[in-house]
Chain A
Amino acid sequence: MRALLLGTVVLSALMVGHPAAQAAPKTLVYCSEGSPENFNAALNTTGTTFDANRPIAEGLVAFERGKTNVQPALAERWEVSDDGLTYTFHLRRGVKWHSNKDFKPSRDFNADDVVFSFHRQWKPEHPYYPVSGGGYAYFKSQGLADLLESVEKVDDHTVVFRLKHPETPFVATLGMDFANIQSAEYADFLAKKGAKERIDQDPIGTGPFFLQVYQKDAQVRYRAFPDYWGGKAALDSLVFSITPDAAVRYAKLQRGECHLMPYPNPPDLAAMKADPAINLLQQEGLNIGYMALNTQKKPFDDVRVRRAINMAIDRQAIIDNVFQGSGVVAKNPIPPTIWSYNEQVQDYEFDPEKAKALLAEAGFPDGFQTDLYAMPVQRPYNPNARRMAELIQADLAKIGVKADIVSFEWGEYRKRIQNGDHGMALFGWTGDNGDPDNFMHTLLGCAGAVPGGSNIAKWCHKPYDDLVTEAKRVPDQAERAKLYAEAQRIFKEEAPWVTIAHSIVFEPVRKEVVDYKQSPFNRHEFYGVDLKQ
């Protein structure tokens, strides 16, 4: 027996010293939820494409892994002029581009690449603008076409962005995936070959991994890029195993066919928690689920009615019933993970009696009738809008308000509520750059209160709007935080929404995965992650 044991020890010692045993590559398998549309985040708005693109491509700035802070990436540092209109980015030197079997880069990353990537999305006359169908939904929805004055190369390592008006969240916007940089040299090479589309299909990037192969609906395979400026990744290769069904993803995780997965089915969470091979990560999502009250319609133009509705709804019951433990009651329009979150804001207490009294004071002693729009789809901020609407309907009935639940196909639904057809509407938002402006101005500012705009409450309140507009222009973050905190107070007082929930995002990860961090933006990032073997 002892001899056997000794033999095993010696043998394993030999194995460790053996080059073949050492060379076993570290491959991390991620069971992703769908196929990426292509490999250019500027063309798409789906998280699936962003995730698949992220190992390959990078922007000027990045978000610190697991946080919402902006940090340098392809730009080493940047300066903002005193008037807030000119941003000078100093680019990192010695950043290598990937290569593929046709294309070998002749130079490092430089200012030409930055100018190319922004002009492509911005200028309709740019030769690459119509390539791959154009579109650039994010560039457009972020309003960059109306914000940018120019993007210019000063020298190989300096780029200047000029804006039409000051916009402090601009740097955070550049950290979003659509602002990733493509190679201008590769673009020229493909244009000469008459194969421009390939820039988005066979991507060349500067990221920690390069694309080995993509088989639609099956897998995306990446290899670590040895010349990555931040140092070679700990993993040797990375595989996205495309698995659309959440139950199947979980089965693969249990079997060890993949190391981690996104978007588990809520009923599986208890079993995941109990599984000793799995770490169930969780954190509050960067989102808000709310019910907007159409302030341009009677009777919601009266603040007393809006407050009464706020008091009449038992939100804890909604959390328990609809979210089943995967959400927390929201009181502000931004989640607590974003800076400037105002802890001091006093939320409305659930108090039907007081609500009734307030309603009588506003001239509706017997209540009134209205419609309640409920989304037809599951969203991160609302797992079951229909059920939520029914609970709200029952609560409101107790104070005499009769709400008819209506629903439409998702595209039609958004169109109608953006037009302001509704009385009350369930909706929500997931943040994408971690700046309070991305919630507070986008969703509640006067600019969005027009038909078609993203302000669903159609709420335009001057004191509030002045604060969030001012906060957009001030460069100092402490100053901005003060303005946003005050804006949150006014928001609660004026009650254009019933703030319902911030959902909790779960991610099961196998124990052998080292140092994976959950991202507040719901990104799935693998540089910096390692595997125990």
Chain B
Amino acid sequence: MLKFLLTRFAVLVPTFLGVTLLAFFLIRLVPGDPVEVRLGERGISAERLEEMRAQLGLDRPLLEQYLDYLGGVLTGDLGRSVVTQNPVLEEFLTLFPATVELALCAILFAVIIGLPAGMIAAVKRGTAFDHVVMGGSLTGYSMPIFWWGLLLILLFSVTLGWTPVSGRLSALYWVEPVTGFMLIDSLLSEEPGAFGDALHHLILPTIVLGTIPLAVIARMTRSSMLEVLGEDYIRTARAKGLARARIIGLHALRNALIPVVTVIGLQIGVLLGGAILTETIFSWPGIGKWLVESINRRDYPALQGGVLLIATVVMAVNLLVDLLYGILNPRIRHGR
């Protein structure tokens, strides 16, 4: 187990370095720099333009800028946004809880509905229920997030009036951020009704962000379950006359879950990608929207820092999933 962990960590170092390289240079391949983006149509003399660039340190050689940035990263300093001048890490940390809250709700939603749906579809293979799950998941998987979000807003918010359109809380309430998680903060605050309001605001974005993971989990559970149900030990169990529920719930489910856990782990990356669109539609003040804005403004430090931090989160989650996998499946643990 220790060796397994060490090799995993050894792989992380070059991955990490690769991410810093990609984040730094890819962003600079995009034409236009922050100064030009700021000026818009307004012309300005070449010397003043250079002066502004120098103030932001953009006139120095690229390699020097990169080494500077890398040095900063190693000492935990991600620099300051060229647009707002706030430390990048601070901006990330104030916005990240909103994304985590939404992503957790989305994955919870996907698991709570996707797991049983996939299981039942496998057990009732070929029935109408199975067809509905298979068809529904295919549709969900190929749903364009932007369109799906607007459709739900139009139906549930504008036409039916059941849910608020966007944001995390109505303008009527003001909740002091303590943890950054609105569901917790609204409970801590004195505002009566704020918690319900926050919950209300979560419904649509959760559904939109959870749709693709839901589809993936349902399909994965179904196929994994089908495979397990065909195994010899299940047939043996059946032949021994064990109760059907006991076979499925105890023997089949545990083994069928192993690949599903991996898939859920992999969905974290998908979730963070999907968050960019979902947060933009629902004006959700998280990391996704922050990144989009940083790209538009060519805010190099913010982008570099944001990409690096997100990559770190994804790597950490994957490591965790690997560990969990090892616990669930002893064959992998001892095989090494």
A and B part of one assembly: yes
Which chain A residues have a beta carbon within 8 Å of chain B's beta carbons? 27, 29, 34-35, 37-38, 44-46, 130, 132-135, 137-138, 140-141, 145, 197, 200-201, 212-213, 215-219, 221, 239, 241-245, 247-248, 251-252, 254-255, 257-258, 379, 408-412, 414-415, 418, 427-430, 448, 452-454
- Give CA–CA (A217, B284) in the complex, Å: 7
- Give CA–CA (A429, B284) in the complex, Å: 33
**In the complex, what's the smallest C-beta–C-beta distance from B248 to chain A, in angstroms?**
44
Given A133-B82, A251-B153, list of 11 further CB < 8 A pairs? A37-B297, A134-B52, A138-B42, A145-B48, A216-B91, A217-B285, A217-B290, A219-B171, A241-B283, A244-B280, A411-B36
A258 contacts which chain B residues (CB < 8 A)? Answer: 171
A145 contacts which chain B residues (CB < 8 A)? Answer: 48
Pick the 4 closest A-B CB pairs, nearest first.
A411-B32, A454-B43, A217-B285, A218-B285
Residue pair B290, A248 in contact (C-beta under 8 Å): no
Q: Which residue of A lies closest to B39 (CB)?
A: A137
Which of A215, A245, A251 touches B158 (beta carbons < 8 Å)? A251
B127 contacts which chain A residues (CB < 8 A)? Answer: none
Provide a sorted-by-A list of 23 A–B residue pairs whose CB atoms are within 8 angstroms: A34-B293, A37-B84, A38-B84, A133-B80, A133-B82, A134-B52, A135-B52, A137-B38, A137-B44, A141-B39, A197-B85, A201-B84, A216-B91, A218-B283, A221-B174, A243-B166, A248-B165, A414-B41, A428-B41, A429-B41, A430-B41, A453-B43, A454-B41
Q: Which residue of A lies closest to B55 (CB)?
A: A134
Contact with A along B170-184 (1 / 0, CB 8 A): 111010010000000
A410 contacts which chain B residues (CB < 8 A)? Answer: 32
**In the complex, what's the smallest C-beta–C-beta distance from A497 to chain B, in angstroms?**
15
A453 contacts which chain B residues (CB < 8 A)? Answer: 43
Taking each of A135, A221, A239, which has the highest tally of chain B beta carbons within 10 Å of its own beta carbon? A135
**In the complex, what's the smallest C-beta–C-beta distance from A432 to chain B, in angstroms?**
9
Residue pair A37, B39 in contact (C-beta under 8 Å): no
Which of B32, B80, B283 touches A242 (beta carbons < 8 Å)? B283
Residue pair B165, A130 in contact (C-beta under 8 Å): no
Check: B226 CB closer than 8 A to any chain A CB.
Answer: no
Taking each of B35, B42, B284, which has the highest tally of chain A beta carbons within 10 Å of its own beta carbon? B42
**In the complex, what's the smallest C-beta–C-beta distance from A435 to chain B, in angstroms?**
15
Residue pair A217, B95 in contact (C-beta under 8 Å): yes
**In the complex, what's the smallest C-beta–C-beta distance from A42 to chain B, in angstroms?**
12
User: Contacts A37-B83, A44-B38, A137-B44; is A252 near B165 (CB within 8 Å)?
Assistant: yes
**In the complex, what's the smallest C-beta–C-beta distance from B39 to chain A, in angstroms?**
6
User: Contacts A140-B52, A241-B167; is A135 near B158 (CB within 8 Å)?
Assistant: no
User: Contacts A248-B165, A412-B32, A430-B41; is A133 near B56 (CB within 8 Å)?
Assistant: yes
B48 contacts which chain A residues (CB < 8 A)? Answer: 140, 145
Contact with A along B140-167 (1 / 0, CB 8 A): 0000000000100110011001001111
User: Contacts A244-B280, A244-B283, A245-B283; is A141 near B43 (CB within 8 Å)?
Assistant: yes
B95 contacts which chain A residues (CB < 8 A)? Answer: 216-217
B158 contacts which chain A residues (CB < 8 A)? Answer: 251, 254-255
B174 contacts which chain A residues (CB < 8 A)? Answer: 212-213, 221
- Give CA–CA (A463, B84) in the complex, Å: 45
